[in-house]
Every structure is written in structure tokens, then in C-alpha cells.
């Protein structure tokens, strides 16, 4: 998942026989709810505009989300300001007059960029992608701890995506009236965040992360507490009064999205940031913002693709455990040196 310069920080800003029944029913439920609505784009009965209240607004919003113009989790009948702004972006890209009103020409342009919504998408019961992938053990430990807090999991905090964890996720989803599934997507993760506390690093891990690489430090990194980022070496270190506490590989901006080098200070921290400005929702766990809206954070895209991708300016880590540990070591006002 490629990450970005956000225009403003979003926070963005989730037993027993009964569970067995829910799990056994999951495949058929998914098959029913993911069936595409018949036909192509529903013909417009009337223009859709700001403050319109109509079921067709749901189809509009789903299609805008598919086309990466509208970064929302749930859709609704109401045509609000976010929808209007998304329509204007679509009209600009399609070479249409930028009115924010969905007429037939705008509708046709959107239909060419999207597919018919499923019934599940229209009713906010579709199963989205994992918030962080289940093969990331640091995230799985945090997930297990939070599920344990919520009373949905009784197993060990091991980081293993095992059967007990799968059942606990399905139990949690059915508890909050979502289809049973082993996927912890944003729609199920956000309510879990709201009903549980953030685990401490020591709740999840027995020791600090160990370094398996080295970095040649800039002289500015040898005093005080500082995150030292070398773009040339593709490395990031946390240094405390000259002592390197850890070093890890890091990834930076795609061509054309480079952010500034220099000395900065952390001005904002948030462990559950989700970027929305590029038309899709991109999780940025354990974000440390240091240069306007440029941050250090965990990146699933970096974990998945390595250096085949890049950010929209941010400095990324691909180890969730390291990102969480670093988040607890620093505070607002600490220095970040990028060179």
C-alpha cells in the first residue's frame, strides 16, 4: 500500500456451538452478499446533487470508492460534501464541466471507471482487505491482545494466525453485526480499537527489537534522542545520546513525491492514522509526523513489495514490531534528521 502526504491528519484520522454455526455459514453468506447487482450502471432517474437523499447515492458512492475518488468505509443515501468533492475530481479527470452535480455524462464516465456494486457493498456488509496482513506477527499479537480484552479470545498472545484466532475474529465480527469471516478489515478493526486500550510494547513482546544491519550516521545524529534517516543507505536508526538502539531498512518517496531533507522535530503522533487523500484508505500505523504531513510509519505495501514501490513522501518501516517499539521511545519535540 503506497502511502502519502496527507492534507491533514486523519484518524482516520477499527462461542461454542454458536460460533461453529457462524463459521460454517460464512462461505454461503459471503457468496450471497458478494453477488453483483444485476445489470450495469443503473440509469439516472434524475441528476444527483448536494443534499440529494436517494438509494442511488449509495451506488454513486460505491462506484466513486471503486474508482479511487472517495475514501470512505461505509456508504449512505445522503449526497454530502465529500461526495460532491469526489464528483468534481471525477469530472476534472473526465474532461467534463466541474459542477459537482451527477448528470448522465458524469454517470457514464463513472460507469466506465467502475463495476456494478455488490449487494454487500450497498449495505456496508462487504468484507474489505485486512487492516494489516495476518502474516505480520507484530500486528497479530496486538490483535490477539485486543480480542482478549474484548472477551472474544482466550488463547496466548503468540502472533500466530491460528484456528483459535480465526474463530475469535469471526466471533468479534458477528458480535458487531458483520458477516462472519476470519478477516480483520477496517470496518471490524475500528470498533475493536474503540472498545479496547492500546497494548504497551511490553504487553506483546519480551525484548526490544534487535538490529541486523548498520548505518553510517550523520554527525547531527550523535547527540540527544533522534531518528536518523539516510535515503542513500535506505536505512533508519533510533539513536539515544550517540547509542544506536536499532537500525532497520527504510523506504522513501516514489519519483516526483520526494519530501525535504534536513533536521525536523516530531510535531504529532498517532498510532491509528489512515490516509484518505489519494482516493483510497491507506493505514499508517504508529505514525510520527515530523515535516508538515510527512511521517515515519509502518507500511504494509513496503512489507509486501519491498523497494518495488514507494511512498508519497513518508519514511516507511516494514516491521510492525519495530514501528510500535519506536512509537513508545519518542515523544513530540524529538528530532528527526533526514539526509
Look up 221 and say whether it is catalytic.
no
Contact present, 61 and 81 (Cβ < 8 Å): no
Q: Active-site residue among 145, 271, 297, 312?
A: 297
Please give the Cα distance from 65 to 83 (Å, whole number).
10
Q: Active-site residue among 228, 271, 312, 314?
A: 314
Look up 145 and say whether it is catalytic.
no
Q: Which residues are catalytic?
A: 297, 314
Amino acid at each position: 500500500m503506497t502511502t502519502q502526504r496527507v492534507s491533514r491528519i486523519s484518524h482516520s484520522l477499527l462461542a461454542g456451538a454458536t460460533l461453529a454455526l457462524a463459521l460454517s455459514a460464512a462461505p454461503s453468506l459471503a457468496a450471497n452478499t458478494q453477488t453483483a447487482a444485476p445489470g450495469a450502471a443503473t440509469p439516472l432517474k434524475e441528476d444527483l446533487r448536494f443534499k440529494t437523499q436517494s438509494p442511488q447515492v449509495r451506488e454513486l458512492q460505491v462506484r466513486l470508492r471503486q474508482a479511487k475518488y472517495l475514501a470512505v468505509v461505509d456508504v449512505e443515501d445522503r449526497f454530502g460534501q465529500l461526495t460532491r468533492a469526489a464528483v468534481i475530481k471525477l469530472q476534472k479527470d473526465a474532461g467534463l464541466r466541474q459542477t459537482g452535480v451527477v448528470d448522465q455524462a458524469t454517470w457514464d464516465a463513472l460507469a466506465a471507471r467502475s463495476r456494478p456494486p455488490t449487494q454487500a457493498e450497498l449495505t456496508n456488509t462487504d468484507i474489505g482487505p485486512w487492516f494489516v496482513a495476518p502474516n505480520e506477527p507484530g500486528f497479530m499479537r496486538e490483535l490477539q491482545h485486543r480480542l482478549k480484552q474484548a472477551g472474544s479470545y482466550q488463547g496466548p498472545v503468540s502472533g500466530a494466525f491460528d484456528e483459535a484466532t480465526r474463530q475469535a475474529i469471526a466471533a468479534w465480527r458477528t458480535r458487531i453485526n458483520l458477516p462472519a469471516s476470519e478477516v480483520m478489515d477496517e470496518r471490524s478493526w475500528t470498533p475493536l480499537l474503540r472498545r479496547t486500550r492500546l497494548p504497551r510494547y511490553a504487553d506483546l513482546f519480551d525484548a526490544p527489537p534487535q538490529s541486523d544491519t548498520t548505518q553510517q550516521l550523520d554527525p547531527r545524529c550523535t547527540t540527544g534522542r533522534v531518528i536518523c534517516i539516510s535515503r542513500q543507505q535506505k536505512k533508519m536508526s533510533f539513536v539515544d545520546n550517540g547509542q544506536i538502539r536499532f537500525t532497520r531498512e527504510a523506504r522513501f518517496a516514489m519519483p516526483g513525491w520526494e519530501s525535504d531533507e534536513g533536521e525536523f522535530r516530531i510535531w504529532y503522533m498517532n498510532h491509528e492514522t489512515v490516509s484518505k487523500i489519494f482516493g483510497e484508505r491507506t493505514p499508517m500505523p504508529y505514525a510520527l509526523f515530523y515535516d508538515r504531513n510527512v511521517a515515519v510509519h509502518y507500511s504494509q505495501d513496503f512489507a509486501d513489495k519491498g523497494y518495488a514501490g514507494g511512498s508519497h513522501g513518508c519514511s516507511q518501516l516494514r516491521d510492525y514490531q519495530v514501528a510500535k517499539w519506536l512509537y513508545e521511545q519518542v515523544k513530540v519535540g524529538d528530532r528527526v534528521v533526514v539526509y
